[in-house]
């Protein structure tokens, strides 16, 4: 596929973004739209694609690769999960072609522990991109979010991963639980000391069912000012996530993402004595470029 322009697309549940790349992976142009798969009616994906990226597909030699939920049952076409361990070659072999040779959807990955499956869609592409951007082929990577993914890579292949519903638990506790009664309406600014206290309490607690109640009792005993409480709760849930990971001091952890949430993870991981490497959104484009490079012409 050398020399062909690549249209790289990350088509998620609630939003979509795309980039036009040159042969070396340089970004020529980017576009984003609130046209996540939940906003697209069945049978309507081709029209949305043409509307947003039709001009980029000229000349006809362009290749479009799409990562994310577009390959789910509710997406454009189903791209069945690729079982772990999985490397770039495995993903390339299982691309789901919407238009042969022109538009393909990258499959998500699945893994299984004790008879229970886990899944990801889109994060695998960011992981492959991050590995190439960092020049590494093994390690532990985390993608913080509503559903955080912890990924273990060996010899360039994703051998195992786990989903933790950290961001969703935060939102549930923040808005719908009894804790919401003692929290301010607005999250306000980040309070580093309160966040660190939440991390520390979660790490010495046996689990979130118990540590979460501390957000209530600290308020009840007037030991925590109102403005600190959202940051404390954020520390509790992120600390709970880190408590359950088998991290060794000095180990390197790659944090993929951008913005305030990523910074919180980097801060918490560094406080545990881990070597933290952050990598931003270009990871997705680089992952798609590496996939494109492995497609037989």
164 binds its own copies (CB under 8 A): yes
Phi, then psi, of 252 in degrees rounded to 5: -90, 135
CB of 239 to its own copies, least distance (A): 11
Asked if 178 touches its own copies (CB under 8 A), the answer is: yes
* Residue (of 48, 21, 22, 18) closest to 30 by Cα position: 18
Instruction: Please say which residue, 47 or 220, places its beta carbon nearer to its own copies.
Output: 220
Least Å distance, CB 70 to its own copies, is 16
291 token code pair: 């996939």
Which x/- pattern, by CB under 8 A, does the window 99-138 give for its own copies? ---------------x-xxxx-------------------
Residue list 240-269, contact with its own copies (CB under 8 A):
240-241, 243-245
Q: Which of residues 189-218 bind its own copies (CB under 8 A)?
A: 201, 204, 206-210, 212-214, 217-218
In sequence order, which residues have a C-beta less than 8 Å from that of residue 127 and are 6 or more positions away? 141, 143, 151, 153, 158, 256, 283, 287
Rule CB under 8 A: say whether 181 interacts with its own copies: no
Question: Which residue among 77, 172, 227, 295 contacts its own copies (CB under 8 A)?
Answer: 172
**H helix runs in the chain, sequence order:** 45-53, 88-93, 123-134, 166-176, 192-204, 208-211, 213-220, 229-243, 259-271, 282-293
Cβ burial 214-249 (10 Å sphere, 16+ → b, else e) = bbeebbeeeebeeebbbbbbbbbbbbbbbbebebee
Using the rule CB under 8 A, give the single segment among 15-23, 29-37, 233-241, 250-258 that binds its own copies: 233-241
Q: How far is the CB of 284 from its own copies (least distance, A)?
A: 22
- If binding is defined by CB under 8 A, does position 90 make contact with its own copies? no
Using alpha carbons, list the distances in angstroms from residue 287 to 10, 21, 130, 133, 239. 11, 12, 7, 9, 29
- Alpha carbon distance 47, 31 (integer Å): 16
| Binding of its own copies by 166 (CB under 8 A) | yes
80 binds its own copies (CB under 8 A): no
162 binds its own copies (CB under 8 A): yes
CB atoms within 10 A of CB 202: 25
CB 61, min distance to its own copies, A? 37
- Interface contacts to its own copies, rule CB under 8 A: 114, 116-119, 147, 162-166, 168-169, 172-173, 176-178, 201, 204, 206-210, 212-214, 217-218, 220-221, 223, 237, 240-241, 243-245
């Amino acid at each position: 596929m050398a020399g062909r322009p690549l249209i790289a697309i990350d088509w998620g549940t609630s939003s979509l973004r795309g980039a036009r790349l040159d042969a070396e992976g340089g970004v020529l142009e980017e576009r984003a739209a609130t046209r996540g798969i939940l906003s697209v009616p069945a049978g309507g994906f081709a029209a949305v694609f043409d509307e947003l990226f039709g001009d980029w597909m000229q000349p006809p030699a362009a290749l479009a690769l799409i990562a994310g939920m577009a390959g789910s049952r509710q997406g454009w076409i189903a791209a069945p999960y690729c079982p772990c361990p999985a490397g770039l070659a495995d993903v390339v072999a299982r691309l789901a072609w919407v238009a042969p040779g022109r538009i393909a959807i990258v499959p998500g990955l699945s893994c299984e522990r004790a008879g229970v499956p886990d899944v990801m869609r889109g994060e695998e592409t960011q992981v492959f991109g991050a590995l190439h951007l960092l020049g590494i082929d093994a390690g532990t990577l985390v993608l913080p979010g509503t559903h955080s993914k912890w990924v273990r890579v060996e010899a360039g292949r994703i051998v195992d991963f786990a989903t933790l519903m950290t961001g969703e638990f935060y939102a549930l506790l923040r808005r719908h639980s009894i804790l919401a009664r003692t929290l301010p309406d607005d999250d306000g600014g980040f309070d580093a000391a309160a966040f660190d206290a939440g991390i520390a309490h979660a790490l010495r607690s046996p689990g979130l069912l118990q540590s979460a109640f501390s957000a209530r009792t600290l308020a009840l005993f007037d030991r925590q000012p109102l403005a600190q409480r959202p940051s404390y709760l954020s520390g509790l849930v992120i600390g709970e996530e880190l408590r359950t990971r088998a991290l060794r001091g000095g180990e390197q952890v790659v944090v993929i993402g951008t913005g305030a949430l990523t910074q919180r993870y980097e801060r918490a991981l560094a406080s545990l004595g881990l070597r933290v490497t952050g990598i931003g959104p270009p990871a997705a484009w680089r992952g798609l470029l590496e996939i494109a490079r492995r497609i037989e012409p």
